[in-house]
C-alpha cells in the first residue's frame, strides 16, 4: 500500500513537471517572438484555459521565466513581460562577449581544437531551409539552431559554471536576436561568421578566433542598437507583426 502511494505520488509529480515544462516553453516562445509584447500583463486564468491545464503549472512556469528575465512580477498586480531597452541590450552583449571569449581562452589553455559538438551544430543549422518571412515557428527554429553554435562553443570549454551562466541568459538574449534576425535577414551572414570562428580554433589560432567572435557579436549589437534606436521597441514589434501577416 505504501509503495503504491509513493509510486502514485511520483507519477503525479512527473506529470506536473511535464505540464509545467510545456507551459514554460509555450510562454517563452511567445515572448521571444514578440507575440507577447514587452509590458503585457500575463493572465494566469486565460493561459490555463487556453492550454487546458490548471493554474499551478502556469505559476511555476512564470517563476522559471522570471529567473530568465522574461517575466517581471509586481506585488499585488501580477506578472508582466519584461521590457527591452538599449541599456539592457548593451549589458547583455557585454556579458555575452566576456563569456564566449573566455570559453575560447579555456580551449586555448587546454589546447582543444577538435570540437565535434560545435561542428555538428553548424552542420545542422546549415542544412535547414531558409524560413519564410511570415512563419514565426520556422524563424524561431532557425534562430535557435543558429545560436546553438554559440551554446556548444561555451559547453566545449568544459567549465560547467560558465555554461550554466551562459544558458541562463540565453532566453532573454534570444528576444533581441529574434528582432535582429527578423529585421535584417541575418542568417545570410551568421553561418559564414560561425564557420570562420570554428576554422580559426581548429587551426589553433585562438586569438584570431576571439577577434572574429568579437566582430561577429559587435556587428549584431550595432545592427540591433540602430534598429531599436531608429524605430523604437514598439515600432520594431509592429514591423515583425506586419511581416507575419504578409
pLDDT (tens digit, 9 = 90+) per residue, 30-70? 999 999 999 999 999 999 999 999 999 999 999 999 999 99
Residue 109 pLDDT > 70: yes
Pairing of strands 71-74, 41-42: unpaired
pLDDT (tens digit, 9 = 90+) per residue, 74-98? 998 999 999 999 999 999 999 999 9
Residue 135, pLDDT score: 78
**pLDDT band per the 50, 70, 90 thresholds, residue 212:** very high
Domains of the chain with CATH codes = 2-81 (1.10.10.10), 86-244 (1.20.120.530)
Residue 242, pLDDT score: 53
**pLDDT band per the 50, 70, 90 thresholds, residue 158:** very high
Asked if 158 and 110 count as a contact pair (C-beta separation under 8 A), the reply is yes
For 73, the enclosing helix (H) or strand (E) is: strand 71-74
Asked if 57 and 19 count as a contact pair (C-beta separation under 8 A), the reply is yes
**pLDDT band per the 50, 70, 90 thresholds, residue 238:** low
Amino acid at each position: 500500500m505504501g509503495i503504491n502511494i509513493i509510486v502514485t505520488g511520483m507519477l503525479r509529480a512527473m506529470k506536473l513537471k511535464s505540464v509545467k515544462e510545456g507551459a514554460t516553453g509555450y510562454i517563452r516562445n511567445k515572448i521571444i517572438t514578440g507575440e507577447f509584447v514587452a509590458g503585457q500583463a500575463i493572465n494566469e486564468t486565460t493561459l490555463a484555459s487556453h492550454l487546458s491545464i490548471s493554474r499551478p503549472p502556469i505559476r511555476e512556469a512564470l517563476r522559471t521565466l522570471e529567473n530568465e528575465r522574461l517575466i517581471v512580477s509586481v506585488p499585488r498586480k501580477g506578472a508582466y513581460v519584461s521590457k527591452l531597452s538599449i541599456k539592457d541590450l548593451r549589458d547583455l552583449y557585454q556579458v555575452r562577449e566576456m563569456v564566449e571569449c573566455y570559453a575560447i581562452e579555456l580551449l586555448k589553455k587546454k589546447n582543444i581544437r577538435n570540437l565535434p559538438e560545435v561542428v555538428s551544430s553548424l552542420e545542422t543549422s546549415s542544412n535547414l531551409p531558409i524560413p519564410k518571412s511570415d512563419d514565426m515557428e520556422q524563424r524561431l527554429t532557425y534562430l535557435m539552431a543558429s545560436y546553438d553554435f554559440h551554446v556548444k562553443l561555451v559547453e566545449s570549454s568544459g567549465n560547467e559554471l560558465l555554461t550554466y551562466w551562459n544558458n541562463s541568459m540565453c532566453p532573454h538574449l534570444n528576444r533581441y536576436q529574434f528582432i535582429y534576425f527578423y529585421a535584417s535577414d541575418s542568417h545570410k551572414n551568421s553561418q559564414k561568421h560561425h564557420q570562420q570562428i570554428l576554422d580559426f580554433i581548429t587551426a589553433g589560432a585562438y586569438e584570431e578566433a576571439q577577434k572574429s567572435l568579437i566582430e561577429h557579436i559587435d556587428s549584431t549589437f550595432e545592427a540591433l542598437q540602430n534598429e531599436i534606436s531608429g524605430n523604437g521597441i514598439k515600432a520594431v514589434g509592429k514591423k515583425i507583426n506586419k511581416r507575419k501577416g504578409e
